[in-house]
Amino acid sequence: MSDEINNSNQISPSFSHLPDSDDYIRKLETRLSKVKGLNKSLTSKDMITVLQKARDDYMSHLISSSAGQLSLDDYDGDKEVSVSYVEKKLFPEKNGVTFEELQHLLESDVLAKVSAECNSETSTDTNVDR
């Protein structure tokens, strides 16, 4: 029985290795070590890449973390408005503490009033031309 095993493990004399098989095996072993994470030293470029990715993830989380849209169904004047940190820092004049304050802020939006006046003036100007 042991003779049969030894005979099956032996390579036939007609078999020859390809000239690049050793290089191929070496490349496969290198890939395997990369996958396993062996022999990997952390470089400054790797650290910068990881930090940039973390910063981008954090910023996208800050931007998208607003509580939700205002709806008339769940309107409560004393209920606090939850706004993302970035919106609070970028647009403090548009952020109210409660829904009631937010409503008054939106009503006193000067830019919206000016643009509405300009739109009404252009619409009356176009009606006069006809």
Encode pLDDT of 37-83 as tens digits: 766 677 888 889 989 999 998 888 877 765 454 445 555 555 666 66
| Structural domain span for residue 84 | 80-121
Beta bridge partners of 80: 98
For the ranges 14-23, 59-68, 101-110, which has the lowest average pLDDT?
101-110
Residue 85 is assigned to a structural domain of this protein: yes
pLDDT of residue 52: 93
Tell me which residue of 77, 112, 68, 113 sits closest to 97, measured CA to CA: 77
8 Å CB contact between 77 and 100: yes
8 Å CB contact between 66 and 60: no
Tally of domains within the chain: 1
Residues 6+ apart with CB under 8 A from 76: 99
Residue 113 is assigned to a structural domain of this protein: yes
